[in-house]
Each structure stands twice: as structure tokens, then as C-alpha cells.
Amino acid sequence: MKKVGWTSPWIYKNEILEIPPHEEGDICDVFDFSNNYVGRGYINERSFISVRLLSHSPEKINKEFFSRRIEEALKRRDEFSGAFRVIHSEADGMPGVVADLFGNHLVIQFNTLGMERRKEEILDAFEETIKLEGIFEKSEGRARKREGLEDSIGWIRGKGEELIPFHIDDASYFSDTKGQKTGFFLDQRFNAKAIREFARGNVLDAFCYTGNFSVNALMSGADRVISIDRSERAKKVYEKILRANGIGNGENRYEFLVGNVFDELRTFEKRGQLFDLIILDPPAFAKSKKELLSALRGYKEINLRAMKILKNGGYLATASCSAALDRKTFLNVVKDAAFDAHKALRIVHFGFQSYDHPVLIGMKESEYLKFFVFEVEAI
């Protein structure tokens, strides 16, 4: 058998010539049109991504296989401690699995039928590789529905608290098992730390969730931070995180507004309220290419509104986690917003997802997070 390379571990339904009888979720071998061996993966014809490759070789897919994958992933993350993503799906050779480690607790997502069928083997592999007190499953969302799966949420091995405590560098946090995704956005860890270089005076943290950027701004000496999210629960976790870091509200240093960011930005503009630094870290406005046009309007709107309430020479930190939106297009959207706001921009920092969320070259979907810090001046 001759090995051939691939540009992506995904094989779409319209690329397949022939499929032998099978059960959905079965392990299968893939050959190209010249009968050269491509790899071994699992199949689910319910999904347009009908096959997801696990290996270039016809090796056994069992607990030992998953243990090797986890050990390899841990070696890539030697410098991380406290909390980090252990498995980043396709980029770590385990498509359909996302697993974040918070201290001695693992929060895991099974997003495909193929991996759901091998859940117990994967969990055993994690427990044999990492010393864990508990594993929390947070398998939910559109990806599972496309695979014909129901949501599955709860402690499935060991036990833990609703809020899982952990540390990153000199800061304490909580992962909220009742919150978004795995409970905390670890992909922004380096960008959140970088924000300390620009945090001064009055800071606005929009779409703040539980306040990763806000905490870093307050710890670096910002005079006051206003944080906005539409979740009451996020506010409660945010306040608990501040207390864990010994951050009090003397001199009214922080405020959490529960509301719609678009509305709040307009309100600040009407008041003439200005900020030295504004952070925009919205959820993915475009989860697919079909949603891209409306997403571009949303990204332009929030960046335009933010620039109008920045002090001259202030900083705008703006992010997009939409995989459907590439870096160049996102930058052009911000540029268009600056033109309409009569502002000039200088890039002073550029970042993307933390390297415990590796990008698989040839699979553009794995490079999703874009993060810029601009110095903004009036024209």
C-alpha cells in the first residue's frame, strides 16, 4: 500500500465514490481513486463530513491508540501548567474530541458519533495518562445534532464542583460547568495577558463572559473597568473570580453591566463617555459561510461604535473567533469601520489562539481566532 498525503482529515460525502455496508460510527479504511491507501478513520453518512481520518496507517483504533495521542499532545504542551487544552480535535489527531484540563479536573466534549461510540476507551486513556479527580462531560450543540446525537452534560468520572478552580500564571479563575463551552476560554490566555501592556485609565471589556480580560486589566493597574455581558450567571462567576484574586471595589474600580453590547455602546456614545482601552471579544457571529454576510455587518458595527467612544490615541483590542472569517477579511472590516469613524489605525499587537489550540496546516477551519490591538487616532 502506498501512503499519500492529505490536506485535511475531513472527507466529504460528495468526494466518495463507493461505501461498503457499515454501521454509522464504524472504523473504515480510505483509498484514493488509484487505490492508494489514504488512512483510517470513522464514518457517519448523516454528516456531510462523512469520514474523519484518525491515522495515515491501518493501525488498531483502541484505548492504546488514544493513550498515545494524549501522550503526544501532552508533550506538545510541556510548558503549560494550571490549565490548558489537552486535546484540540483534528489538530491533535482526535477529531471530534475537545478536552480542557483545569487543575486536576478534565472538561471534555464528544462532538461526533465516531468518538461517542469510543467514549469509554477515550475516558480510560485519559485516566491512565493524567492523574484526575474528575471528568465533566459538556457535549452539546449543533455539531452533535448534525451527527444524530443528543446533548450529554454532567460528571461522568469522579467528581468536582460546579465551579472548578484553577490558576494561570499569577491569576485565579473558575471554569463554570454551567457556562459556555468548557466553562472558560483558554484560547485567549496569551492575548489576555498581553492586554496588561495597554490597560490604563478607563477600560471597557465588551462580551466579557467571566472577565478574563477584565481581571488582567485590573491586575495591571487600570483605574476602572466596565465589563458587559448578557449573562447574569457570568456576572456572579466574574465577581467570585475578582474576590479570588483579592480585587476589591474600592473607588468603584469595576462595574458589570448585564445587557446587550450593541445597545450599551450606543448609550456610551450618547453620553459622550470615553475610554482609554476597549476590548471586543464577541462570540462567533458566523458559525458557517452562510452566516458570513450578516456577521460582517455585526463586526463592523461593534468596531465602529467602539472607535467613536475611544479617547484620541486610545487602544482598541478586537477579536473574532469565527472560523468562516479569515484574518484578511476581518482586518478589512475593521479598516472599513475606521474609515467611517474618521480614524487612523496602527497595529501594535497581533495574536491568535494559544498554542495549546494548535492549527493544522491544510485545515483552515482549525485557525479560527484573530486578535488585534490598534492604536486609534482621529483624522
Residues labelled catalytic: 321
C-alpha distances out from residue 83 to 109, 166, 218, Å: 16, 7, 21
Alpha-carbon distance of 189 to 179, in angstroms, equals 18
Place of cell 461498503: 20
- The span from the CA of 234 to the CA of 99, in Å, is 22
Question: What is the 3-state secondary structure of 213-242?
Answer: HHHHHHHCCCCEEEEEECCHHHHHHHHHHH
Backbone angles phi, psi at 72, to 5 degrees: -65, -40
Grid look-up 487612523 returns 344
Please list, in sequence order, all residues whose beta carbon lies within 8 angstroms of the beta carbon of residue 287, skipping any fewer than 6 positions away: 142, 322, 324
User: Beta-carbon neighbour count of residue 128 at 10 Å?
Assistant: 15
User: How many beta carbons lie within 10 A of that of residue 350, not counting itself?
Assistant: 14
Nearest-CA neighbor of 70 among 122, 148, 8? 122
SS3 content of the chain, % helix, strand, coil (to 5): 35, 30, 35
Give the whole-angstrom CA distance, residue 205 versus residue 281. 8
Q: List, in sequence order, every residue forming a beta bridge with 163; answer none if it has no partner.
A: 176
Q: How many CA atoms lie within 13 A of 171 on its CB side?
A: 24
Q: Measured between alpha carbons, how far is 210 from 179 in angstroms, rounded to an integer?
A: 9
Alpha helix stretches (DSSP H) within the chain: 63-76, 113-116, 119-129, 142-146, 189-194, 212-219, 232-244, 261-271, 292-308, 327-340
